[in-house]
């Protein structure tokens, strides 16, 4: 059968592989961007908790319990 929608000879296969790679790189980039933002938020929360403990605003027991809560996945 001739004249199908996708030409799987030569350039057609290369073109399809190229688009798959481009889309894979884009999805990976977006995933990494969002995962880094969540890591920054978690680091900031732990940093603030450590600062409060160092300033004496919270006691050791409260610090440990909140640290466990923040460290959960």
End-to-end CA distance of the chain: 54
pLDDT at 52: 94
Instruction: Give the model's pLDDT for residue 14.
Output: 86
**Residue 2, Ramachandran bin (φ over 0: left; ψ between -120 and 50: alpha; else beta):** beta
Choice between 3 and 44, residue whose per-residue pLDDT is larger: 44
pTM: 0.44
Burial class of residue 58 in the structure, from the number of CB atoms within 10 Å of its CB (0-12 exposed, 13-18 middle, 19+ buried): middle
Average pLDDT over residues 46-73: 89
Measured CA to CA, the distance from residue 22 to residue 30 in angstroms comes to 13
Above pLDDT 70, what percent of the chain?
75
């Amino acid at each position: 059968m001739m004249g199908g929608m996708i030409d799987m000879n030569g350039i057609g296969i290369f073109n399809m592989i190229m688009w798959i790679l481009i889309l894979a790189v884009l999805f990976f980039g977006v995933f990494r961007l969002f995962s880094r933002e969540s890591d920054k938020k978690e680091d900031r929360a732990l940093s603030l908790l450590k600062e409060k403990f160092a300033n004496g605003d919270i006691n050791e027991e409260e610090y440990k319990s909140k640290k466990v809560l923040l460290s959960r996945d």
